[in-house]
Amino acid sequence: MGIDIIIMQAFSGLSLFTILLLMALGLAIVFGLMGVINMAHGELMALGAYVTYLVALFFERNLSSLMGIYIFFAIFCAFAATFVFGYVLERSFIRFFYNRPLDTLLATWGLSLVLQQFYRSTFGAQEVSVPLASWLSGAWEPVAGIQLPLNRMFIIGLTMVVGLCVYLMLFKSRWGLRVRAVTQNRPMSAAVGINTDRVDALTFAVGSGLAGIAGSVFTMLGSTNPGTGQLYIVDSFIVVVFGGVSSLLGTALSAFAIAESQTAIEYFATGTVAKVTILLFVIVMLYFRPQGLFAPKVRGA
């Protein structure tokens, strides 16, 4: 295999890595803090994709001269919409299922079916796509034979910015300090005056917002349909569990390893073989390290 093929395959793996990371970051924050297995997380991603589609339609019909920068407004709107929806969802639904993992699993799975039907009734069962900004079309060719799509380069850059923002929020802000305190010891955090209910709501909302950004990013790579979120939800859970619950470093490294491995195996075999191989590898690794590769030493109570 030539060096140009290796570079392009690695770059394709980076593109998959960005989607997995944006999805898994939200899951890692929510799962690590509240222990909530949110099976509707993929539908939050689909919500972000549909919001991006609506923003694109608005700009196309009313602000066609600004179509070159609509994607920035779309990403912000996707985050804002899913953030608000996640906050309302946690306050009105999720909060009643804490400390009931099986009930939470079934309830959020049912919620995912409801949201899929809502999308199907609102937007139709057919796929919808958004126009790509002209400056994101085409590819950069650093050397002959190697072409790197501009839209994927933009996605990688955006993911780095989002990842940095999440890091700063969790480790350089008072909100992040409260989140980490609640994650490590919820009863003690409540005893020292931290409003754990508010921390839960805001954390779930931020995790939902990250899924919305993932959905917005997804529209640059493919079409959206009511079942779009289901394409990544299982892989995202695998990333979180494999990397170590509530470990952002583990989540990032796990997403990178899984994405690159899947892309490489797909080149030599098929997508199904790649997924099965990775799943078997993860199962074997978790047998020896059930807490994940980078689990923190102190876990939530």
Q: Is 230 exposed, middle or buried (0-12, 13-18, 19+ CB in 10 A)?
A: middle
Tell me, what DSSP letter sits at residue 38?
Answer: -
Question: Is-contact 46 215, C-beta < 8 A?
Answer: yes
Share the mean pLDDT of the chain: 83
Those residues with Cβ within 8 angstroms of residue 174's Cβ, 6 or more apart along the chain or in another chain: none
The CB density around residue 30, as the number of other CB atoms within 10 Å, is 28
| Kind plus residue range of the DSSP H or E element containing 155 | helix 150-171
CA 113 from centre of chain: 19
Residue-level pLDDT at 296: 57
Domain locations in the chain as residue ranges: 14-126+148-228
pLDDT band at 298 (very low <50, low <70, confident <90, very high): very low
For 90-119, what is each residue's pLDDT tens digit?
999 888 887 777 888 889 999 999 999 999
Tokens coding 8? 């392009």
Rounded average pLDDT over 273-280: 82
Residue-level pLDDT at 297: 54
Rounded average pLDDT over 58-87: 91
Question: Is-contact 207 30, C-beta < 8 A?
Answer: yes
Whether pLDDT at 142 is above 80: no
Give pTM, 2 decimals: 0.86
Strand partners, 143: 146
Least confident segment among 2-6, 134-138, 154-158, 231-235:
2-6
**Strands annotated E in the chain:** 139-143, 146-149
Least confident segment among 187-191, 221-225, 248-252, 288-292:
288-292
Residue-level pLDDT at 4: 67
Whether pLDDT at 3 is above 80: no
Residue-level pLDDT at 97: 81
For 257-267, what is each residue's pLDDT tens digit?
888 888 888 77
Residue-level pLDDT at 300: 42
For 175-206, what is each residue's pLDDT tens digit?
888 888 887 788 888 888 888 888 888 989 99
* HEC per residue, 228-250: CCHHHHHHHHHHHHHHCCCCHHH
pLDDT band at 2 (very low <50, low <70, confident <90, very high): low
Least confident segment among 206-210, 245-249, 271-275:
245-249
283 three-class SS: helix
| Kind plus residue range of the DSSP H or E element containing 165 | helix 150-171
